[in-house]
């Protein structure tokens, strides 16, 4: 592992600033409520030790997730996820109506759009503050066990160091109690580009 503690703390502060100024207002507007957030941890991890970021709760739950890959001057990934049984609640809140049938296709579309907007808010903040040109992929939506989702995302980062920088962000709607998680993932060699 090669990224020093001070650089990880600086990255944490930079990401927190972007989230406070861009992502929280976007999510708060979409959900119509005050959103709190915390960056649970930013750390470097071996791509073979996913257990560092998988809690027991996440290990046992099927998650609704959106993955967006970002390329250009900076390569990163954003994985937005929440327990599958809560995704209908979030989609209902966004649409302002109860969703009766899971097969409507509205839930995956709504969750994908949230992932797209939240990722774009962070990517735009990075671009605005650094001048980097960053392009994001079309959101990929899946319902799967968290470990399987994470393995797919990690495979997207075939780096030589065998390590990744992972920032775990938690968003919490104060009125609704909705909890959404986002992992921001990048190669250790790119941390200096952000700080």
16-43 confidence digits (pLDDT tens)? 999 999 999 999 998 899 999 999 889 8
List phi, psi (to 5°) of 132.
-70, 145
Strands (E), the chain: 35-46, 62-72, 76-83, 134-136, 140-145, 163-173, 179-186
CATH number, domain 5-194: 3.40.1550.10
The whole-number pLDDT of residue 107 equals 75
Radius of gyration of the chain (CA): 16
What average pLDDT does range 100-122 have in this prediction? 79
Question: Which residues fall within 8 angstroms of residue 73, CB to CB, at 6 or more apart?
Answer: 130, 132, 133, 134, 193
Residues in the chain: 195
- What does the alpha-carbon distance between residue 34 and residue 175 come to, in Å, rounded to a whole number? 7
Q: What is the DSSP string of 164-175?
A: EEEEEEEEEETT
Residues 6+ apart with CB under 8 A from 89: 176, 178
Task: Return the pLDDT at 103.
Answer: 45
Q: Which of 48-52, 55-59, 114-118, 165-169 has the lowest mean pLDDT?
A: 55-59
Contact 76, 14 (CB under 8 A): no
Q: Which of 168, 152, 161, 169 is nearest to 187 (CA)?
A: 161
CA–CA dist 138, 116 (Å, integer): 8
Mean per-residue pLDDT of the chain: 86
pLDDT at res. 101 = 63
Residue 85's pLDDT is 79
> Is the whole model's pTM more than 0.85, yes or no?
yes
Residue 165: per-residue pLDDT: 92
Domain ranges within the chain, ordered by starting residue: 5-194
């Amino acid at each position: 592992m090669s990224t020093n503690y001070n650089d990880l703390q600086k990255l944490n502060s930079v990401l927190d600033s972007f989230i406070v100024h861009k992502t929280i207002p976007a999510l708060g507007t979409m959900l119509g409520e005050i959103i709190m957030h915390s960056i649970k941890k930013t750390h470097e991890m071996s791509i073979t030790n996913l257990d560092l970021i998988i809690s027991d709760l996440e290990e046992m739950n099927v998650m609704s997730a959106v993955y967006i890959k970002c390329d250009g001057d900076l390569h990163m990934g954003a994985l937005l996820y929440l327990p599958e049984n809560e995704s209908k609640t979030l989609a209902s809140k966004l649409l302002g109506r109860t969703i009766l049938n899971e097969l409507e296709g509205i839930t995956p579309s709504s969750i994908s759009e949230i992932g797209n907007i939240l990722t774009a808010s962070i990517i735009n903040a990075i671009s605005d503050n650094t001048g980097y040109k960053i392009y994001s992929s079309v959101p990929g939506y899946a319902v799967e066990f968290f470990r399987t989702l994470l393995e797919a995302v990690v495979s997207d980062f075939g780096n030589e160091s065998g390590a990744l920088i992972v920032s775990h962000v938690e968003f919490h709607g104060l009125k609704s109690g909705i909890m959404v998680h986002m992992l921001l993932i990048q190669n250790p060699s790119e941390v200096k580009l952000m700080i």
